[in-house]
Structure 1
Amino acid sequence: MNNRIIICTGGRLGDWVRTYISPGDLLIGADRGALFLVQNGFTPDLALGDFDSVTPEQLELIRSISRETITYDPIDKDYTDTELAFRYALDQSPSEIRMLGALGSRFDHSLANVHLLKLALEQGIPASITDANNTISLAQEGSVQLHQGEYSHVSLLPLSEEVTGITLHGFAYPLHEATLRIGQSLGISNILADPVGTLTVRTGTLLVIQSKD
């Protein structure tokens, strides 16, 4: 049984979104992300936010199509609309969370959304951010497998101050027990040489960015 949650929020969105939504996914639209979903033939299971980026007419459209709508006061709330959606998703104990539209022109919002991935990591829930050119996830103690797929490059950046014991197998530029610290670019633009590569981390939290031009 599919227990995946897709969050569509108000950053860069386009036709590529359709590739990442499958039957059985629970769809959450955050603010303008909900408008994108309903205007593109999707039915959000939940639309939420302060909806300060849509018109009253657009909000009525969202309400009429979404299975449930929750509105928040734009002043009296502690979290961004995306974080509200992400925390709701975590409470459902899903098998996976994928955020679409979480990157955009506002770098502060984009970076805050990347930081949300840490909340899922702490609960053992796989989570990622995807746009037309990138998929972003986190890795910490243990091993993960990365697949070539559509992405030509893999970049590794420390999210914690230091990440140790980084070992790569199946990459063009292997590493063995390497350490990355904030401020270093050693992990940028590696390439998977094999169909599946293995990343191992001993300590710390690592940002894993799979990208294509």
Structure 2
Amino acid sequence: MKKCVVVGGATIGNYEFVRKHIHETDYVIYCDCGLSHMEKLGVLPSLIVGDFDSHENPHMDTETIVLPTEKDDTDTVYAVKEGIKRGFTEFMLVGVLGNRFDHSLGNLAILMMLEAKGLHGMIVDDYSEITVLSSGGKEDVTDDCKFFSVLAAGGDAHGVNIENAKYNIENADIITNFPLGVSNEVPKGNTAQISVSQGRLFLIKVFNEGEK
């Protein structure tokens, strides 16, 4: 099934990198001032949602859900929930990190919300891909990324293994109050394996460091 792409209003500098992750068959939801990215992304909306407190309603010939300004869910959270209602199991969020740190943290929490529902989510920013690896999970990291980091997500993680990387660990704890897993590397020709027995990890694959 095609994935649901949610476009938020945080700054995007590297449109080329972000565009590579969006495909013609994707279902694209623009959230309020995320509409400011539409021209440079070159992707028309499948759905528009927002309270339009930071961007005017474009009144396009596209399904639009107008939200109240006072509500429990942010526009981005609402968009993801709407995607879930419409049957999507894979989500990608762009334009959701930066600008407002509180919103950035809240949007990282969306990845954990999706994981808890048995769904898959990824955040793509100018430099990286961010996913959640949960209990019993394993993931490969290839040498096409410059760096990768693993950080505790929503609590301490236990039984963490990193193999075939520059820095390897076995049955380790990645805890919330010490960033042990920042800036590892995959040697050329290798594929690193990451696994966790208990808890959740943010897995961040960094592909560039500011090139535009």
Q: Fold conserved (TM > 0.5)?
A: yes
Of 188-197 and 165-174, more deviation after overlay is shown by 188-197
Write the deviation string for residues 137-172 of structure 1: whole angstroms up to 9, x where unpaired. 111112322333642111111123311000112211
Q: Alignment partner for residue 201 of structure 2, among 199, 202, 206?
A: 206
The 5-angstrom pairing of residues 160-171 of structure 1 reads: 160-171=154-165
Give the conservation status (yes or no) of the 8 Å contact 2:143–2:191: no
Normalised to the residue count of structure 2, the TM-score between the two structures is 0.89
With over 3 angstroms needed to count, the CA separation of the structure-2 counterparts of 1:35 and 1:168, relative to structure 1, is same
- Return the letter of the residue paired with 2:197: R
CA displacement at 1:95 relative to structure 2: 3.8
Give the conservation status (yes or no) of the 8 Å contact 2:165–2:190: no
Q: Alignment partner for residue 158 of structure 1, among 132, 152, 155?
A: 152
The 5-angstrom pairing of residues 57-72 of structure 1 reads: 59-60=57-58, 63-65=59-61, 67-72=62-67
- In structure 1, runs of 5+ residues without a counterpart are none
Distance 1:161 1:88 in 2: 27
In structure 2, what is the equivalent of residue 96 of structure 1? 90
Write the deviation string for residues 163-190 of structure 1: whole angstroms up to 9, x where unpaired. 1000112211111000111111211111
With over 3 angstroms needed to count, the CA separation of the structure-2 counterparts of 1:85 and 1:195, relative to structure 1, is farther
- Return the letter of the residue paired with 2:69: P
- Return the letter of the residue paired with 2:54: S
In structure 2, what is the equivalent of residue 112 of structure 1? 106
- Aligned-residue identity in percent: 27
Give the conservation status (yes or no) of the 8 Å contact 2:49–2:65: yes
Give the conservation status (yes or no) of the 8 Å contact 2:3–2:90: yes
Give the conservation status (yes or no) of the 8 Å contact 2:122–2:130: yes
CA displacement at 1:38 relative to structure 2: 5.2
* 1:51 is aligned to 2:46: no
Distance 1:149 1:204 in 2: 26
Q: Please report the RMSD computed on the Cα atoms of aligned residues, expressed in angstroms.
A: 1.8
- In structure 2, runs of 5+ residues without a counterpart are none
* 1:37 is aligned to 2:33: no
The structure in which a higher percent of residues are helix is 1
In structure 2, what is the equivalent of residue 143 of structure 1? 137
Give the conservation status (yes or no) of the 8 Å contact 2:162–2:195: yes
With over 3 angstroms needed to count, the CA separation of the structure-2 counterparts of 1:12 and 1:149, relative to structure 1, is farther
Normalised to the residue count of structure 1, the TM-score between the two structures is 0.89
